[in-house]
Amino acid sequence: MDAFYASVEQRDRPELRGRPVIVGSPSDQRGVVCAASYEARKFGVRSAMPSRTAGRLCPQGVFLRPRMDVYREESRAIMQLIATPGAVIEQVSVDEAYLDYSALCGAGDPDAALLEAVPIGRELKERIRAGRGLTASIGIAANKLLAKLGSDFSKPNGLTLIPERDKVAFLRPLPVRSLHGVGAVTEQVLVGAGLRTVGDLQDHPGDLRALVGSWGPVLRRHAFGEDDRALELGDEIKSISSENTFLRDTEDRAVLRGCLREQAEELAAKLARRQLEARTVQVKVRYGDFTTLTRQFSVEEPVREARDLYRLGAWLLARDRLVSRPLRLLGLGVSGLTEERARQMVFRWETGRGSR
């Protein structure tokens, strides 16, 4: 989906169309940007940027509080629209998915099969536009690596086909950061070695393991458009968390206790809905200078009740004296999730002396 959160807001409020919409905390308050429309991105606004910075970059930006429930419901509706017979779907996030149409497209020549997928892509885009009033960008290729690159290539409202015969040439001018698995640290190492583009990686005569370790062979395959990752169809949840950023740094114990109790209740409700329990509870604090600390504690018997989550969280805060100075942010999370155990009632049965 194209600038998903901001596009939903512009759809629901037509007067915002064409204007720089920034979803997140107001520019005069603490918080971060959740999403930015393409109009706002032209000013350098991006996700995870402090809202105050976004306000300085884009003074005419329209700041809107995020409506996560609305975005999640919109995501469910879109995923239902694209769930056509014969398509295998891996939903990556609230606004992104991979679809495998191999069963519907012809066997034999790979590029012929990809061409058969083009009208399917156009139909999906039209279905989303007509049904939800939103635009999507689609990449069509023989693997996840290339399909993802294609979906980003001509945003917004794009459709890009990357034939197998053209994939190496398509990749050559792209920056190394474009490749799956290349983060900021790896990019810095590669650029430091003079490898700025994917073409540089393709032409590099040496062993990439000297630069990126055991991942070198995989990186080289990616540089040539080779990717054998299958779609991940499981929906296992690894962790759940809740965080609050305060308007002003605070060490008021009553405020912090109230915040932690609300977070515990929120997590308990999420665990109950998913019929899960947690073995590990984690607290996260951030101070005014942006120093961030996390502490966690694992229990042998999983917990799921709000009172238990609260007690463990409060204990961690006290144990490590994390409230030794005012907090900017407080978070509570759980991990080590397991399916909820059947609750057993144990009876003791005694014989003799007339008692049971």
Q: Which of 55-59, 122-126, 212-216, 327-331 is predicted least confidently? A: 212-216
Phi, psi torsion values for 13, nearest 5 degrees: -130, 85
Helix (H) or strand (E) holding 153: helix 144-153
Residue 174 has pLDDT above 90, yes or no: yes
Q: Which of 24-28, 141-145, 236-240, 295-299 is predicted least confidently? A: 236-240
Determine whether 39 is an active site residue.
no
Cα distance between residue 112 and residue 107, in whole Å: 8
How many degrees, rounded to 5, is the angle at CA 342 between CA 237 and CA 235? 15
- pLDDT tens digits for range 128-157: 999 999 999 999 999 999 999 999 999 999
CA dihedral 12, 14, 16, 19 (to 10 degrees): 130
Residue 52 has pLDDT above 50, yes or no: yes
Cα distance between residue 113 and residue 60, in whole Å: 47
State in Å, rounded, how far the first CA of the chain is from the last one.
65
User: Could you identify the residue written with the tokens 């990019």?
Assistant: 187
Cα distance between residue 90 and residue 316, in whole Å: 37
- pLDDT tens digits for range 70-80: 998 999 999 99
- pLDDT tens digits for range 251-274: 999 999 999 999 999 998 888 777
Mean pLDDT score across all residues of the chain = 88
**What are the residues whose beta carbons fall under 8 Å from the beta carbon of 52, sequence distance 6 or more?**
27, 28, 30
**Sorting pLDDT into bands at 50, 70 and 90, what band is 309?**
very high
Q: Which of 55-64, 109-118, 151-160, 234-243 is predicted least confidently? A: 234-243
- Token pair, residue 92, equals 């990556």
Q: Looking at residues 31-51, what average pLDDT do you find?
A: 87
- pLDDT at residue number 118: 95
CA dihedral 8, 9, 13, 17 (to 10 degrees): -90
- pLDDT at residue number 339: 63
- Token pair, residue 71, equals 């975005």
DSSP-derived 3-state class of residue 12: helix
CA 31 vs. chain centroid, Å, equals 18
**Sorting pLDDT into bands at 50, 70 and 90, what band is 29?**
confident
**What are the residues whose beta carbons fall under 8 Å from the beta carbon of 285, sequence distance 6 or more?**
292, 293, 294, 317, 322, 323, 327, 329, 330, 331
DSSP-derived 3-state class of residue 237: coil
Q: Looking at residues 2-14, what average pLDDT do you find?
A: 96
Beta strands at 21-24 and 33-36: parallel, antiparallel or unpaired: antiparallel
Active-site residue (options: 96, 164, 187, 305): 96
Q: Could you please report the per-residue DSSP string of 46-71?
A: -TTSBHHHHHHH-TT-EEE---HHHH
Helix (H) or strand (E) holding 118: helix 110-132
Helix (H) or strand (E) holding 116: helix 110-132
Helix (H) or strand (E) holding 159: strand 159-161
- pLDDT at residue number 353: 41
- pLDDT at residue number 355: 38
**What are the residues whose beta carbons fall under 8 Å from the beta carbon of 350, sequence distance 6 or more?**
356
Domains and CATH numbers, the chain: 4-66 (3.40.1170.60), 70-168 (3.30.70.270), 172-223 (1.10.150.20), 239-339 (3.30.1490.100)
- pLDDT at residue number 302: 78
Helix locations, the chain, DSSP H: 4-12, 38-41, 51-57, 68-82, 110-132, 144-153, 167-171, 184-192, 198-203, 209-212, 216-223, 253-274, 306-319
Of 158, 155, 162, the C-alpha closest to 225 is 162
User: Could you identify the residue written with the tokens 């239902």?
Assistant: 80
